[in-house]
Structure 1
Amino acid sequence: MSLASVIQFRVPSAATDANVSASVEPLSDHDLMIAVRAGEIRRLGELFERYHRPLYGFFLRMTNQPSVGEDLVQIVFYRILKYRHTYRDEGKFTAWIYHLARKVAADHFRKHARSPIPTDPAELPETDSDAAHPSDQAESAEDITLLRAAIARLPIEHREVIVLSRIQHLEHKEIARLLECSVGAVKVRSHRALKELREVYFKIRKEKAA
């Protein structure tokens, strides 16, 4: 089965399936993946509908290349189909799909030997971190540009934890599972990433004003 045929699966439209959708509870991500694993490949279309946008956002902010982001999303779903038998009953689907997404991104960066550049950091939401975030001060287009430049200078591992926690809204325990480390280690990495981002942001801002 080609990748193109995989991503063309779609959830039935409301117009053609209104009566069914009104009476049947939608399956959870986990149940859909179990069905895919069991051979109900059409269910992959429902997972695509749910996760296409979040995955695209993840790749876009890591690469700053819309067309590349779309391609990488397709690769993720191709790998879901290819490795569907490795999905475990006790696993959480969100963590599993982002595990695949991180591997796809890593493969892309190794292949192209380039440092990814994130997109508009004005969309970064707040977390429970005690550290102040420079996005609080991004009140103008110029500030947003400076903040974007600051994020671009972060090491990939720091950029990644910011994207996963602040844009993809993954919990610390989910990120810990992805990064194969403790929750405490994730919190430390997040704190360091935000601290470095703050320092780089104000350094660039100072250079700009000089």
Structure 2
Amino acid sequence: MLQVSEGKTETLGLLYERYKRRLFGFFYQLGCDRQQSEDLVQETFMRVLRYRKTYTNDKNFMAWLFHIGRNVFNTHYSKQNRQGPQVELADNRMEFGAAEVELAFDRSHNTRQLEKALNSLTLENKELIVLNKFKEMRYKEIAEVVGCTEGAARTRTHRALQKLKTIFFELEKSER
């Protein structure tokens, strides 16, 4: 990114190839469909190019990139006077049969259970899981973010996942 900020804009393509998947996943996890997510990734990199001079060596590039992506997402949905993407179950029933609707309902239920379980974790454990599973960061990258060794990041992440699993299944039992 330092090269891009110095005017070597041809190197932006490398950054795009390296980070487009993570950014796409970010938008997709926020509820955007495939096309919207792709459009928002493109807009994010257009802004990276536009604001390249604001990047400095002391900034974590991924954090800076995701900050821009978050602003792109918020701008996109504020223009449409909405809080964000909306799921419309009526449309899904038209396109799918009863079995697919039931499967979608089960997935939705499991997602809500997972959100409850994640929210009951400590901030440190929640952060480790999001970085590892949702943002697909390697243990070395996680270690840099949280300030520990790679081995400690691996151990802490494993323990956090075990806690999440325990809480998730406890919530399932309590609902029965």
The TM-score with structure 2 as length reference comes to 0.56
- The residue number in structure 2 matching 1:144 is 107
Q: Percent identity?
A: 33
Alignment partner of 1:166 out of 129, 133, 139: 133
SS at match of 2:30: helix
Amino acid corresponding to residue 48 of structure 1 in structure 2: Y
Instruction: Kindly indicate whether residue 76 of structure 2 is the aligned counterpart of residue 75 of structure 1.
Output: no
CA distance in 2, matches of 1:87, 1:108: 23
Amino acid corresponding to residue 168 of structure 1 in structure 2: K
User: Per residue, is there more helix in 1 or in 2?
Assistant: 2
CA distance in 2, matches of 1:115, 1:73: 16
Distance 1:80 1:152, change over 3 A: same
Contact kept? 2:24, 2:37, Cα under 8 Å: yes
Q: Deviations over 1:118-170 (max 9, x none)?
A: 9xxxxxxxxxxxxxxxxxxxxx8764342235578999xx9xx7755630146
Q: Deviations over 1:76-116 (max 9, x none)?
A: 10010000000011122111111111212222332341344
Distance 1:148 1:108, change over 3 A: farther
- The residue number in structure 2 matching 1:92 is 60
Q: Deviations over 1:36-90 (max 9, x none)?
A: 1111111111111101111101101102311110111011100100000000111
SS at match of 2:35: helix
Contact kept? 2:31, 2:85, Cα under 8 Å: yes
Distance 1:151 1:64, change over 3 A: farther
Q: Which runs of 5+ in 1 are unaligned?
A: 1-32, 119-139, 176-193
Distance 1:174 1:62, change over 3 A: farther
Alignment partner of 1:52 out of 8, 20, 27: 20
- The residue number in structure 2 matching 1:114 is 83
CA distance in 2, matches of 1:75, 1:84: 14
Question: Would you say how many aligned residue pairs link Structure 1 and Structure 2?
Answer: 134
Distance 1:79 1:63, change over 3 A: same
SS at match of 1:36: helix
Taking only aligned residues, the RMSD between alpha carbons, in angstroms, comes to: 4.2
The TM-score with structure 1 as length reference comes to 0.48
Contact kept? 1:56, 1:69, Cα under 8 Å: yes
- The residue number in structure 2 matching 1:129 is none
Distance 1:64 1:148, change over 3 A: farther
- The residue number in structure 1 matching 2:71 is 103
Distance 1:164 1:76, change over 3 A: farther
CA distance in 2, matches of 1:76, 1:43: 16
